[in-house]
Structure 1
């Protein structure tokens, strides 16, 4: 008999969960990115340049993304609720403790570990969790979750500036801690773990994924992307102020990045089905070098009005590229590599992003301090972004033909090339599966094939089987999900 798609996919419960995840992501990103509003005030109080202060932001974002290497595995094992509780306690506690520091390096530990590692415990798992709730509308749902980071940038940076003007940076962090605590409790109430689905052997699948060139193309380009983007976001306001832009107008640039990133997330994910998520991911990345070219032009403009107009255009394009890339990353991961062990896999890509985030802000901050201007940092991040485009562009748009691939229910299997070594007899599927009562044609099960150039895959017996029509071509109706060895055994 044929298998039916799980009933929780694309359900109302899934949309509620995605919306709750977006609000929690907003609190995480927004609170961390609000640091850019406090940077100059902290530099003055601790009598340092922007370089040492930017290390705090770099460590924080590195751990926020990089801790996903741990949190992804923990999510696959324990689910989301324990991660929100443990991460939330560290996140709120780190904010409160940082508001009391009298020595800068204490901020490296308290703000960096508390907000970075604590927030990272729930950030990447929320993206993996959302992917498991959706099939047809996964890209849009991922875009909604990713919109949280855009809302955080758009709302929190101007709010942090208001707190700085009204109180000081210490009191501002305490207010942000209270707000984060309320939002995290709300997240616990509305975010739900999806029902378990048969995903095959995730550990074996991941061991094959990391041997592919596609994995390393995504990972290395992610490092270059976050060096440029996170470095820019972390220092955009102080750079603009140092370039003669009034403080309030500089804060509005952060608002522009956040607003345009929401536009990028929603617009690009809505086009994912007709145009393909991988193609759109490449387009989003390609916008970065163009944005940095506009930023470079602002350094050659004399009048403040023209300069600021170009800065707004730069911030808007930066936001669209950044928002689209982040929103599409989860869908691209599921499309190319499947759903087996997706929490761990998303965590690895977030770790790559965290590595770039650790490098970017200090690199730009110290370059600014040494060069005495912002031209050199702009040229540097522009070249880095262009290098990332060249790394990502050759990447395949098709699912990898791994023998352990488990695709989203209803999706077509990876392109077949040549058979693997025959599986043991106990694992071979029956040649025919009787059609169900829905009147569909009888189907036979065919093992997923490996890429012919991948010697590492040829000795691995198939673990996943796909229903195909009588003509030998994959059934494109979207009605039948992948069928596993366990399914075949049950049907017999």
Structure 2
């Protein structure tokens, strides 16, 4: 037997079935580098948050919903109230721009500003989610905060309409893309039993923030006689609130390992490889996921129409017939205030309902109810009190689509490690409707000679059509006529 035969009979680390003993110094001539233990993060994280994989018996019990999770939730609420709230208040600024600044520009064109915010946010949300999964939530949110505060400040000094489009529309929307999908995903990392309620609080705070923002900005505009000072003040307020909220945030998952791991090849040489993050490719082969994207895509064409045109509707239909003694400078702004306040209340209620009835089930029901409200109830709201009532009731159900994206994904597929990427991809499907929905509805209004009934019928029908498509997601993702979050065919 020669030395080669002897070496051939020895077991090596690269022989199938080889088990290295703890005292082995087989690789002792090569300097040993401490190799970090790689846990099965998908198993541990998904199991602890209610996903479909069983927990590792060697791991400790999953953390319960704790006080730290409530602190994180507060940070998400503060960001949503000021960041998403500003986007929900553009209807008040839209009326101001049309009536006092850019009077020769059609209101349907000015409505594109709010559409650009939503389009940039939703179309780039997948990039924001992927950045959070790779670099961490807090660095990504910090980048979005810088963009958002700078956009509002630059908007204060805009003198041309295209400058408003670039700052208030594009730049602020891009900043939102690196914040919104993350603050909607973080509650799912900390809460399981009350996941829908926690996410509803975050989404609902956008409505409360939108109500306060629309009322506060319009009050300051009336006081100062222009928008530069109010917007500059608001950018400072947002910067302070976002700094406090950013300090409250924390992830409840393994920190992304950005270092390069040392590995050894068969010849003993060392090489470096980056840790690969899970992608969303398998979901793109699932018809249930595509039906959910189509549901969001269609419904968002009608979702924002009342928020964009309630102020104009009040000024066009209600205010001319009112007693002048009851009118004030903010009369036409009150319907938008009530709609945003209803949005806050409704998203909290729909989140609580989602924990009981199921997330996709609650989404379908809320879309059908909101569509019927636009078609039927809005048409008969011809008095000031009636418009306020409709605005509040519509806000209760109309904003469920975006706030339930993360809970629906967690219900059907489990709370995965790449949750932010999946939520961002789902938000991408709402981009076309969020941008062009109010503008197309405004074009329908102009083409019909100012008939609001046609406008209301088109917007409501689109929302109801999205709810009908969501039944496919409910049927094949959860099961026919099944209620609650405990059922799924995709985990």
Q: TM-score range by the shorter chain?
A: 0.7 to 0.9
Length, aligned pairs only? 400
- Contact kept, 8 Å, 2:120 with 2:431, in 1: the verdict is yes
Which is worse superposed, 6-15 or 229-238? 6-15
Structure 1 counterpart of 2:117, from 51, 57, 60: 60
Structure 2 counterpart of 1:236, from 297, 305, 310: 310
Aligned twin of 2:177 = 120
Partner secondary structure for residue 394 of structure 1:
helix
Backbone CA RMSD of aligned residues: 2.6
Partner secondary structure for residue 341 of structure 2:
helix
Aligned twin of 2:341 = 259
1:247-304 deviation per Cα after TM superposition (whole angstroms, max 9, x unaligned): 63332212221222222222222233332222111111111122112354237x5xxx
1:139-168 deviation per Cα after TM superposition (whole angstroms, max 9, x unaligned): 221122112212112211111221221122
- Contact kept, 8 Å, 1:72 with 1:344, in 2: the verdict is yes
Matching of residues 207-356 of structure 1 within 5 Å: 207-245=281-319, 248-298=330-380, 301=382, 307-340=383-416, 341-356=418-433
The verdict on how the C-alpha distance between 1:169 and 1:397 changes in structure 2, with shifts beyond 3 A counting, is: farther
Partner secondary structure for residue 203 of structure 1:
coil
Partner secondary structure for residue 101 of structure 1:
coil
Q: Which has the larger radius of gyration?
A: 2
Aligned twin of 2:473 = 395
1:66-102 deviation per Cα after TM superposition (whole angstroms, max 9, x unaligned): 2212101011111122122211111111111122222
* Cα distance, 1:391 vs structure 2: 1.2
Partner secondary structure for residue 150 of structure 2:
helix
Structure 2 counterpart of 1:179, from 215, 231, 237: 237
Partner Cα separation in structure 1 for residue 144 and residue 352 of structure 2 = 31
* Cα distance, 1:412 vs structure 2: 6.4
Residues 1:45 and 2:120 aligned together: no
Partner Cα separation in structure 2 for residue 412 and residue 146 of structure 1 = 23
- Contact kept, 8 Å, 1:337 with 1:400, in 2: the verdict is no
Which is worse superposed, 12-21 or 44-53? 44-53
1:312-357 deviation per Cα after TM superposition (whole angstroms, max 9, x unaligned): 2321232111344433321111111222321111001111122211
The verdict on how the C-alpha distance between 1:371 and 1:176 changes in structure 2, with shifts beyond 3 A counting, is: farther
Aligned twin of 1:190 = 248
Runs (5+) with no aligned partner, structure 1: 302-306, 402-410, 417-447, 449-492
* Cα distance, 1:180 vs structure 2: 0.9
Structure 2 counterpart of 1:20, from 69, 72, 75: 75
Partner Cα separation in structure 2 for residue 106 and residue 144 of structure 1 = 34
Partner secondary structure for residue 193 of structure 1:
coil
* Cα distance, 1:106 vs structure 2: 1.7
- Contact kept, 8 Å, 2:412 with 2:489, in 1: the verdict is no
Aligned twin of 2:144 = 87
* Cα distance, 1:399 vs structure 2: 5.3
Partner Cα separation in structure 2 for residue 252 and residue 261 of structure 1 = 14
Partner Cα separation in structure 1 for residue 362 and residue 218 of structure 2 = 34
Partner secondary structure for residue 253 of structure 2:
coil
Aligned twin of 2:464 = 386
- Contact kept, 8 Å, 2:195 with 2:355, in 1: the verdict is no
Partner secondary structure for residue 73 of structure 2:
helix
Runs (5+) with no aligned partner, structure 2: 1-55, 257-274, 320-326, 480-484
TM-score by length of 2: 0.75
Residues 1:357 and 2:434 aligned together: yes
The verdict on how the C-alpha distance between 1:414 and 1:231 changes in structure 2, with shifts beyond 3 A counting, is: closer
The verdict on how the C-alpha distance between 1:105 and 1:371 changes in structure 2, with shifts beyond 3 A counting, is: farther
Partner Cα separation in structure 1 for residue 443 and residue 403 of structure 2 = 30
- Contact kept, 8 Å, 1:295 with 1:310, in 2: the verdict is no
TM-score by length of 1: 0.75
Partner Cα separation in structure 2 for residue 371 and residue 105 of structure 1 = 28
- Contact kept, 8 Å, 1:209 with 1:337, in 2: the verdict is no
Partner Cα separation in structure 2 for residue 133 and residue 399 of structure 1 = 24
Residues 1:145 and 2:220 aligned together: no
Matching of residues 402-413 of structure 1 within 5 Å: none
